[in-house]
Structure 1
Amino acid sequence: MLWPIVLPFKIAFWSLAGIVSLLTLLSPALKWNRGKTFLISSLLGCLAFIPSCAGIMTIVDGQRFGIFNYGTYAEVQDFRIERYLPTSARDITLDKFAMGHRAKYTITETELTTYLDSLWIEAGTNSAISRDALDDGSSVSFDQIAHDFDGLNWPLLSTVIQFHSPIQGDGGGATYYFDPSTNIAYHRAGYW
């Protein structure tokens, strides 16, 4: 749940610690009292921590969240996404955000169902909801799921078959929507 702030926290902490250390080490050359320099720079570092962490987070989030395009699964290289993305997915578009992602890709129905079957074999016994209770393979209208993909301007799926990954105890998991007439799949995944 807190994973998005770990990297900015580390960068801000170590940067400010480095500045405090550098000022303390250089204080005799600047004819400053080493103890006072350490105390004042430490207090200023504490005051600057939250604003610097927020600024660093803004910069880092601009690079790791948003819309990204990939040709194949191998190009994605993000473990949070890879655990929900079929390895045979092609022409992948991802909308990454802190607590999940939305994906669009090309895949055949056989490739998708084989991938999902392997997920259920691997983790199905730990799923908070059984596969039977999730109505895997049922048809839904795109109007029912359109809100999941608002703002992306992805093409409408004409025929939608719904599938699910195993659901973690904290609600994490993915819902897959497949259009057999175009071999396009959308999915929405959440993780905490």
Structure 2
Amino acid sequence: MLAPLVLPFQVSVTAFTVLWCVGALTLRKPRRIAWLSLAAVLLFIPSCAGVMVIVDLQRYGRFDYATASEIPDDGYIELPATATDITLYRNGAGHWAKFAIDLSSLRSWINERRSLRPDLNRHHDDDEWLAMASEHQRPDRLKLNQQIFGDRFPETGWTYDPSMLQVQVSRSDRGGGYTVWHVPSTGETYISAGYW
């Protein structure tokens, strides 16, 4: 959860260390060095916040990629290698993505991801995928599924399709993982991931 704070902290520590060393070498008077040290302590948190704003403008927001290979590898983004036409929204707690992929490739990728943590995931066979499709199309579940989909993808303009299959992948015993929605007829796929 604190991963977004690490880079701004490291940048601030490095900058203040360099500035303090340069200042201490040029000032050479204990009283001025004490004032410099006090200023560094008082300005450290505002500096971290400022660096974080600048860094966040580069690493968070909306990004578009033609293929999954174009996405920078940061250890958090997990998308199938065969995904295309990717729209990715990143924030400090997770990411949302919309991409195109065929059902068989998606199922292989999901099974591969689940096999990384078999203690948290169960394998779906063909019958379970078919049952899932009929379960999510029930009229009493449709409104709930629409609401959940809308809550997971706020401000994207993406809409729920009643033919969507919904699959969960757990990556952490603390709740981290992602939910995948897939429209079999078009290959349109959506993923909502949370980092824990």
Alignment-mate amino acid for residue 80 of structure 1: Y
Correspondence for 2:31: 36
Q: TM-score, normalised by structure 1?
A: 0.87
Alignment-mate amino acid for residue 176 of structure 2: G
Query: CA 1:131/1:117 → structure 2, altered by over 3 Å: closer, same or farther?
Result: closer
The Cα RMSD (Å) is 1.7
Length, aligned pairs only: 180
Q: TM-score, normalised by structure 2?
A: 0.85
Which structure 1 residue ranges, 4+ long, deviate > 6 Å from structure 2? Answer: none
CA distance in 2, matches of 1:120, 1:79: 17
Aligned to 1:80, the other structure's residue is in SS state: coil
Percent identity between the two aligned chains: 33
CA distance in 1, matches of 2:63, 2:97: 10
1:105 aligned to 2:109?
no
Q: 1:71 aligns with which of 54, 66, 69?
A: 66
Correspondence for 2:161: 157
Q: What is the CA deviation profile of residues 38-75 of structure 1, one whole-angstrom value per residue up to 9, with x for unaligned ones?
A: 21111100000011110110111111011111111111
Whether the 8 Å CA contact 1:179–1:185 is kept in 2: the answer is: yes
Alignment-mate amino acid for residue 187 of structure 1: I
Q: What is the CA deviation profile of residues 111-152 of structure 1, one whole-angstrom value per residue up to 9, with x for unaligned ones?
A: 000111112223213x1x5457xxx63233451422211210
Correspondence for 2:139: none
Stretches of structure 2 that go unaligned for 5 or more consecutive residues are 137-141
CA distance in 1, matches of 2:170, 2:46: 39
CA distance in 2, matches of 1:8, 1:46: 16
